[in-house]
Each structure stands twice: as structure tokens, then as C-alpha cells.
Chains A and B, each alone.
Chain A
């Protein structure tokens, strides 16, 4: 492990000017720069012809967020002549036991004295207990919106015009969740862009397409999960809410993360208020809650691409790795903070994760023993630090810039060749949020070496990023910017390892397969092969 800035100077800083078209990152390495550059230039125009532009722009002014505050609008319309019984029933329905007690305690004129006093006492007791509880788990004091903003993978979620983005795993199709609680689906091959709206689709925190399916899209909403079935052949631009399955479970709100199993019908969902991880069988709308003590909730989920493990982060300094054969879990306690983000290597053997308040990336390596409980499978005993992204100054032709800082999210491209790290930055200290890109190699040994930065137009910062799983010529990173633009940043390269079946690039490109030998000297992190 070396400090990353030692080598960052080797790499040319690339400023990507985000026009409304695709741009290509030219990876100019010292050794094979010429070769690569020519090859990239040759393929550049082909790519531009191949992939229709899906550059989207959502100015914030065009999106009117809902000003639907439940309590405020209700008080405006409330008929105060309702009987106590009606009001109590309403309070019970809306806010449960505490609401009912509150209602009774507030209307002391209408109830017998003993009832009013006793309900005030019980209410006070409840508040005391819940304050004790939330002193254990401070996140429970947050409101639902704040909680979603806190635990979402999107940087500054509440301020964001684009709140979620999901590529379809098999086709060039994507879904964009906007701050007006609608979801738009873009398909370059079709002229219609369906807009999905639903009564329950509020404060969308995450969305994901179902693998091995053309139409199903899971959406994590305020107090339920929605699974939309958008018929790709339909010409309708406003699918009715009948196309959505509503999956809700008592106590499971707000939902902040969803993950489909890569090869099966299962969907897992997480809520910071619910200690259980829910495993849904979506077709039959049934769920199995997996309760474990500790953590106080589940914030972020990531299913490994081979389907064997699931990362489940909690709001406290603990995360779990579930094994999906028998659904047993491995606890990883005693972090410095909560696990903020994580991503799996394509073969599911490595997990990279980041911790809130730290500027390093950790790695866990799992030996592949499906079916054996994790505790016995000889899994990793400790996480290793693979990269340190603490603040540093780089002098570029444009002047010195500060980079580094806390990490918001991680993304690994589907071939395992590029790792994008979303660095939070600090506007006050002059460090903008940016995306650092690393080259990675998984086999025979895990290697990580710096590659470059992705920056937006002046004054914008990246909010959300995802790799396109269907990019033929390398990797393509889709970035949603703070000004509402969505751009795609392609990285053109030939796979160094064996091209995966069905995914491998076209062999007609005149690119060299060989990697320069002195790459090993430049690596930021190399695993020791013992």
C-alpha cells in the first residue's frame, strides 16, 4: 500500500468538458500513449455512430417538487367539529399509538380526567423510552426525508434534480428518478419515454432493473417498494399505477436501498428504521424478514454479481455480509464509522467498501465456498486498506487544485477494469466533489492503479454515478451532475484478461492486448500472492 498521491502526478489530469454529447476519456499513459491514442481515435467515431446519445438534461426549475406536507395540508382542511372518537381513530391510523395518546391528551376537555392524565403519563413514558432508544441509535431522531438524504448513495440527495439512475442490465435502456417523484424511462431505440407516477412513489431513494427480465423496475420509495412492469413494446407514455406492484411491510419505511439477486426472483430491501433485512419473492409478493441483533437498521445493500453474497450496511459502526445459499451472515463490527458504500468485483470474490469519516478504501477477499457458512469458510479475518484518498494538492497547467476527501460512493465496471470513486470534497475548503478513476486488475492478483479524474463544467459537481453494464468498447461511466445534466464518460480499452462471453469487445479493433511491464511499478496497491 502506498499513498496514492505519489503516483497521481504520473497521470495526466483530465478535465472533461461536458457538452451534451458523449466524450471519450483518452487514457494517456506514458508508455503506450501513442498506440492507445490512435486506436481510440479510430474507434471514437465508430462509438459515436454506434451509441445514440442519451444525454439528458433536467433543469431544476422545470421540476416542481411536491409541496405535499401531510400534516400541513391536513390541518388546513380539518373539520374541527369531528367527534373525539373519529379524531382518535384517525390519529391511530396515521400515527399509531403515540398519535392516539397525543390526541387524547390534547383534548382534555372532552375526555374524563383520569383518561387524559393517564394518556399524558403513558405518552411521557413512551417519549422517555424512545429518547433512550434513539440515544443508542441517533439516526432514529431524523425525519424520513432526512434519513433518506443521509443514507442515500446520492450526494446531497434533497437538493438533487436527479435522485436516481439505473441502467438496464441487458439493454441500452435507463430509468431516471427525478425530484418531482416521477421516473422517466429512456430507450434510444424507441420514441416513447414512459413517465411513471404513482400515489405512493414519494422521495425515491434508489431504483434498480430486474436482471433477466425486460420490464421490471424496483423503486425504493418513502414507505413502500414499488415494482413497475413497463411493457417495452407498449406505446403508452403514462403507464397506469396498475402496472406497479406495491410491496410494503409494517415498520419498513423509509426504504433507502434495494437490490435484485443477479440470477433469481429475489429482491432485498433495507430501511434504516427496520432492523430486519427483507427478502422479497416479488412474483408472489411475500417477504421473509431476516432479523439480527445490532446495528439499528439497514441502510445500504449490494448484491455481488455472482449472486452468492449480499453486503448490508447499518447506521452504526457495523456491517454484515450475508451468504445467499442458507442466508447466514458474517458481522463486521468495530469500524470507525458506518459503512457508507461498497461494491463487489465481477466475480464476487472481492468487496471494496468505504467508511464514513474516513478517506480510505478497504477490501475484503472471500474464498469461493458456496454453501459453507461464512464463519467456517475461512473468509477474510481483517479488511485491508487498498487506497488512501486523503486531501492533497496537485499542480496542473490550470493551477493547483485540491483533491481528495471523504468518499461518497464506489462503482466498479462490470468487467472489473475500472473503479470509480466519488469523492465528497468540501466546497468551503476549496475542494470540489469529483470522481477519481482507478484501473483495477482482479486476477491473478488484485491491483489498483490511478487513472484520472472526471470533472464537470465549472461550478457543477457530480451527484451520482453508475457504470453502463452494456458498453461494448470498454467501460462507460454515467454521471449525474448537480445542474441536472446526465453525461456518459466512456473509457476505451481492451480487456486485459479473458474477455467474458457475451461481453467481450469486438475483435476488429486494432488494439494491443499487452500491458506494459512497468505497470507493476506504478501500482497503488498490489496484493501479495502467497
Chain B
């Protein structure tokens, strides 16, 4: 992806932040009476800006799904997350201070003059515990907001199936946001009161000590049951917590609405300097992820709704007469789909070889911890293109060595040409050792063991999309290309077996400890969710391809789609087979379940169901349009049989 486009997107996002601020302005207008009110208002604006900045910085379109408790713990304790929590904690205090100031009365300030005893001369400053409780509640809610955000993937931005205008979408979501913030504030308040009841003396004593305040002994301290059950206090705590969460949630909501807004990319441009902004270029780009998502969304919509833009896709290049646009679009969609097929096949193989299934959690654990460092948004791409070791080969000659790319990958000879593999596993010798031992889970990178024809076919394709890993700057999360097992089987070294035994021993030892087991046990369905974490792109690719193919029946003047039709059909049928097999696995439920957690978007949990249904619809769309003509398409006997089922509506 070109840098100007990135900047463009970032600028757009910044201006959206300003808009977000503007939307929050009227709330506070009525309070604008005094200079101090203006000050607290400015503080609030600063907080909202900060929250917006954090949204922008932490959002992701591919959720990171923790496959085990330990992975979740890793996410929570990650330094990046720590910064997030800390800043939100502080912002919570700031908002709570503003609330305390606005409420006034007994909450107004931290200290109040009091006469402790008759002996001392003059008044001294005592601690106002109401104010302190409010501030602490703000800090607690801020922290829990950050924590809940990690657990429920609040930074995940999902795209909607149906398009709506921004205002209508905001209006529709507003009641839910208000309800969610009120309920969440209630839960937070409950936890906070419990915590304060038991631990309240610690912050009180600390504040008194640092600020040299004394505790008014004539008033009961607040960490007793009777004083905590003060209805007015509870109400004020709850209302300020709701206000805090509401402003933050609205920021999140507006951010989501603006960032997922449909952007219409030009299909082709007359000027070469704009070529990088065109759909075929953007769709093959990888950074930032959101651009690829927006481009695929645009493709799905244009294929469905706008005949004029479809005509541009089916058009030929002016000098030369090549269908460049269609080739680029279909190639990218097909490579996305076959990647998913490979991923599914690999996962199925892992689960089928029973003993390996458990070791996957460590693999995915490693992946998720690496995913939270560096740029979160970049990692999804690496996942999606996991088997892209050839991306690192920058010799242009490899394009012409079509068949040798796949073969060359599996020899350690290529590794000297991959200098940016700076991970500890990058040494070819070590990698050969660790390769077969690596858990070959769905997300673990040891993919090259699947020697499906797609890997070979995609060789040159992968090379063409290779420029991102350096732009990105983050170390690749994969320990590099693993050598094929066939090679390892050819040379079963002593060291390998030794390491294997050691590993088993350690595993057995750890398995006896309850806590370890608890932490490392795989969460149900998590691996299945993680497999389909980025399936939104596959859904769009399926929709776009199938609609374009169906439209080509009447709109494609030059018959360019016909040349790709066999590939498209076989890719779809292969994916269909893999998806069917995946849903027959014991640990995947066949129906979407629902947990309605407050603001966290859990639509990633149901993406696989959407994908399954979209896939079937896509095949049916093609068969319904082409009908008996499909018999003329060349394909294998097995696929023909499968397609016949679709033609007879028996799938």
C-alpha cells in the first residue's frame, strides 16, 4: 500500500476525532457558567480526545482470540495493554473529578476544614472521603473498561451486513449504548464497593499521608456497611460511572461507525499517478488492514449493486487488450479463499492426529502474545498470508521460476536470501530441528507441510505482494518457513528424537499440576473462532466473486470471466469441502450461540456461520445463473459430482 494513501486514511481518522468531539459538545453546554466549569469541560474534552486517540491506536479489524486462559492472561499483562489500562485509569480519575466538581456539595473537594479536637489551635484540613470514593470509583471503572475491553475484544471493529447512513446507524445504536453503559456502571459499582469495603483503608491512609490530611474521627469512615449503603452516595457513584462510560462508549461507537463507512474506490483511473488508489491495487495491498477490508467491502457492493462499475471490471486495458482489472481482483479473491482452505485443512489434520491437538494451545498462545506487541493491525495480515515465506525472496528472477519457487522454499538454501528473519528461530539448522516439533495448529506457522497444489500455484502471486513486511517493520510472528516433514522423515536425527522425548517429559510433568492445566487448557470453540477470525474478507471475496461471475453471464462482452471460471469453481468447491469437514469436528457447535456482552462486539464469534452460509449461496448463485452450461466447464470428476448436487439443489 502506498504511503500517501495511508496518510490520507490517517488524516481522515483525525478529522473524525474532531467530529466526535463536536458531537459531545452540546452535553456540557448547560454547565458553562463559570471559569472552573470551563476548565472541567476542557478536561473532559481532553479525555474524550485521548480515548479517541487510543481507539485509533488500538483498533483492529481482525480480533485476537485467546485460545487458553494463559493467553488471555498474557494479553492482559502485556506492556501495551498496561499502558492502555494506566491511561484509562487516570482518565477515569479525571472524569470522576469533573463529576465531583459538577455535583458539588459534599463531593466538591478532597479536603475540608475541620476541628479535630479542642486542644489543637485553629482548623486543620481533613480528608473528604466522599470525594475520594468518587475518584477511586472513576479509576476503577476506567481500569475495568480497559480490562473488559481486552476480554471482550472491544477494540475489534466489525463490519455490518446491511449498509445504513451514519446518522441512522448512530441513532439506532444510541439506546443500546445508554443501556450498556448504565448496566456496566452498575456491575462496576458492585465490584468497586466490595473492593473498597475490604481494601478501602489502604488508599485512604496513603492519601492522608502524602497530602498531610487528617481523618475526621467524628464522621464514620465509609468502609462500613451502613455508610456504604447510603442511597444518595450510591446514586451519585452510579450516575457518574454511567456518564463516564457513556462518553467513552459513544466515542467508541462513533469511531466504529466512521471507520467502517463504505468507501468507494475508483475501479480504474485515467491518470497513472492515481493508479495506487484504484481498487485492484488497494485490494492486493496489505497495509493498513482497514484499507484492504474497505476495498473488499467495496468490491462486494459494486458487484452487487452497480452495473456501471461492473462493466469497468469486465473491461479490457486500452493498449493491449488485457483484462488486468478482472485478473487482479479475481486472483486476490481466489488466493484469499485458497489460503483459508489450506488453513482449514491444516487444522483438520492437526485435530485428526489426536495427540497434537492439545499442543496447539501453546502455539496459538505464542501467536496471540506476539500479536499484541508491535502493530496489532499488521498481524492479521501475516495470519492471513501465513504460508508466504516466498514473500521474503526479493529476487525478481523467481517470478520466472514458477515451478522452482515452491521447491526452492523447502531447501535451506533460500534462507540466506531472507535477511530480515531476525527471530531466534531463523537459523536454518535450528529451524530444521524445531520444524517438525512445532505444533502445526491452525495458527501456528508450520504450514508448509501441506503440499497442496495451491502453494505451488501461488508462488508468483505471493512474491508480487511482498513489499509489506519491511514497511511494517514488525518482526514476523512466524519462525519462518518450516522445512517439509518429508525431509525430516528422510533424516531422522538423534537430536530430534531426544528433543521430542524431553518435550513429552516436560508436558507430562506439567500436566499433573492443576493450575497449569487450568491455565493451558484450551477454551472451547476458541480455536475454531481463531481460524475464522478474519473471515469477513473471505465473505466479501465470495460475494464479490459470485456476483461478478453471475453478472458476467449477461454483461461480460469479451468472455474474460470464462477463462477463470474453472479455477473459481474448483476453489469454491474445495473450500466448501473443507468448511463442511470443519463443521463436523467434535468441538465446533453447529449453531451460533449468543452472549450479549455490553459494548464488546462478538460478531467475530459467528463469522464462521456467516462464511458457511455465504459460501453455499455463492455456489448456488453461480449454478443458478449458468445452469446446464456448467457441464461444459472443465473440472475433475469429483467436483463435477459435487456441482451436480448443487445443480439439483441437493446440498
Measured in the bound complex, the distance between the Cα atoms of B648 and A502 in whole Å is 14
A492 CA to B19 CA in the complex, in Å?
A: 62
Kindly state whether residue A279 has any CB partner on chain B within 8 Å: yes
B164 touches A326 (CB 8 A): yes
Least distance between B423 CB and chain A CB atoms (Å): 37
Question: Contacts A263-B304, A286-B603, A325-B305; is A213 near B624 (CB within 8 Å)?
Answer: no
Q: Which residues of A contact B606 (CB under 8 A)?
A: 283-286
> Which among A232, A233, A264 has the highest number of chain B CB atoms within 10 Å?
A264
Q: Do A214 and B649 contact each other (CB < 8 Å), given the known contacts A281-B161, A371-B306, A501-B553?
A: yes
Q: B15 at the A/B interface (Cβ < 8 Å)?
A: no
Stretch in B192-200, B271-279, B612-620 with 4+ CB within 8 Å of A: B612-620
- A170 with B592, Cβ < 8 A, contacts A212-B621, A213-B616 known: no
Q: Within 8 Å of chain A (Cβ to Cβ): is B453?
A: no
B429 within 8 A of partner (CB): no
Kindly state whether residue B172 has any CB partner on chain A within 8 Å.
yes
> Does residue A240 face the partner (Cβ distance < 8 Å to B)?
no
Asked if A212 and B624 make an inter-chain contact with CB atoms under 8 angstroms apart, the answer reads yes
Asked if B162 and A291 make an inter-chain contact with CB atoms under 8 angstroms apart, the answer reads no
User: Given A283-B609, A284-B610, A285-B592, A327 and B625 touching (CB < 8 A)?
Assistant: no
Q: Kindly list chain A residues whose C-beta atoms are within 8 Å of the C-beta of B627.
A: 502
Residue interface bits B142-186, CB-to-A below 8 A is 1, else 0:
000000000000000000111111001000100000000000000
Q: Is A288 at the interface (CB under 8 A from chain B)?
A: yes
Note all chain B residues with C-beta closer than 8 A to A290.
172
Contact B617–A265 (Cβ < 8 Å): yes
Q: Which residues of B contact A168 (CB under 8 A)?
A: 649
| Cα(A243)–Cα(B581), bound, Å | 19
B609 touches A284 (CB 8 A): yes
Contacting B at CB under 8 A, from A152-187, are 168, 170-171, 173
Q: Are A283 and B305 in contact, with the CB atoms below 8 A? A: no
Query: SS class of chain A's interface: helix, strand, loop or mixed?
Result: loop
B165 touches A282 (CB 8 A): no
* A214 to chain B: closest residue by CB: B649
CA distance A213 to B616 in the complex (A): 7
- B610 cross-chain contacts in A, Cβ below 8 A: 265, 281, 283-284
Task: From A245, A284, A327, A371, give the contact of B305 (CB < 8 A).
Answer: A371
Q: Does B306 lie within 8 Å of A232, measured CB to CB?
A: no
Complex interface: chain B residues within 8 A of A502 (CB): 624-625, 627
Please give, as numbers and ranges, the residues of chain B lying within 8 Å of A371 by CB-CB distance: 305-306
Question: For chain B residues 64-108, which have a beta carbon within 8 Å of chain A?
Answer: none
B163: chain A residues at CB < 8 Å are: 325-327
User: Which one of A214, A281, A282, A324 contacts B650 once the chains associate, using CB atoms below 8 Å?
Assistant: A214
| Contacts A213-B616, A265-B617, A289-B172 given; does A279 touch B649 at CB 8 Å | no
Report Cα–Cα, A214/B553, bound state, in Å: 22
A25 in the interface (beta carbon within 8 A): no
Contact, CB under 8 Å: A283 / B594:
no
Q: Does B7 contact A (CB under 8 A)?
A: no
Cβ-closest chain A residue relative to B554: A501
* A501-521 near B? 1/0 per residue, CB < 8 Å: 110000000000000000000
B-side contacts of A328, CB under 8 Å = 165, 168
Which residues of A are found within 8 Å of B164, using beta-carbon distances?
Answer: 288, 326-327
A409 to B164, CA, bound (A): 31
Chain B residues numbered 507-524 whose CB sits less than 8 Å from any CB in chain A: none
Taking the closest CB of chain A, its distance from the CB of B160, in whole angstroms, is: 8
Choose from A233, A283, A286, A288 the contact partner of B613 (Cβ within 8 Å): A283
Return chain A residues, CB-CB under 8 Å to B304.
263-264
B647–chain A nearest beta-carbon distance, Å:
10
Q: Mark A385-414, 1 if CB is under 8 A from B, else 0.
A: 000000000000000000000000000000
* Residues of chain A lying within 8 A (CB to CB) of residue B612: 283
Interface size class of A (residues with CB under 8 A): 35 or more
Q: Counting CB contacts under 8 A, is B591 at the interface?
A: yes
- Point out the residues of chain A lying under 8 angstroms from B165, CB to CB: 326, 328
B620 touches A327 (CB 8 A): no
A48 to B609, CA, bound (A): 42
Known: A245-B591, A288-B162, A501-B554. Contact between A370 and B306, CB under 8 A?
yes
| Identity of the chain A residue whose Cβ is nearest the Cβ of B627 in the assembled complex | A502
In the complex, what residues of A have CB within 8 A of residue B603's CB?
A: 284, 286
Q: Are A212 and B172 in contact (CB under 8 A)?
A: no
CB of A11 closer than 8 Å to a CB of B: no
Among B161, B553, B621, point to the contact of A263 (Cβ < 8 A).
Answer: B621
The chain B residue with its CB closest to the CB of A276 is: B172
Q: Which of B303-324 contact A (CB under 8 A)?
A: 304-306
In the assembly, what is the distance between CA of A282 and CA of B609, in Å? 9
Query: How distant is A249 from chain B, measured CB to nearest CB, in Å?
Result: 12
Q: A266 touching B621 by the CB < 8 A rule?
A: no
B651 within 8 A of partner (CB): yes
**A288 and B172 in contact, given A279-B162, A283-B610 (Cβ under 8 angstroms):** yes
Complex Cα–Cα for A264 and B300 (A): 12
B547 (CB) vs chain A CBs: closest residue = A263
Residues on A with C-beta less than 8 A from B591 are 245, 285
Task: Name A216's closest neighbour in chain B (CB-CB).
Answer: B613
Q: Are A266 and B554 CB-contacts (below 8 A) given A171-B649, A283-B614, A285-B606?
A: no
Residues of A within 8 A of B168 (CB): 327-328
Interface hits, B97-151 → A, CB 8 Å: none
Q: Which 7 A-B pairs have the closest CB atoms?
A: A283-B613, A284-B606, A212-B620, A214-B649, A283-B610, A171-B649, A283-B609
Q: Can you spell out 15 A-B residue pairs with CB atoms less than 8 angstroms apart?
A: A170-B620, A173-B649, A245-B591, A263-B547, A264-B617, A265-B617, A283-B609, A284-B607, A288-B172, A325-B163, A325-B305, A328-B165, A370-B306, A501-B625, A502-B624
* Further 12 A-B residue pairs, CB within 8 A, beyond A264-B617, A288-B160, A325-B305: A170-B624, A212-B617, A214-B620, A283-B614, A284-B606, A285-B591, A285-B594, A285-B606, A326-B163, A326-B165, A370-B306, A502-B624
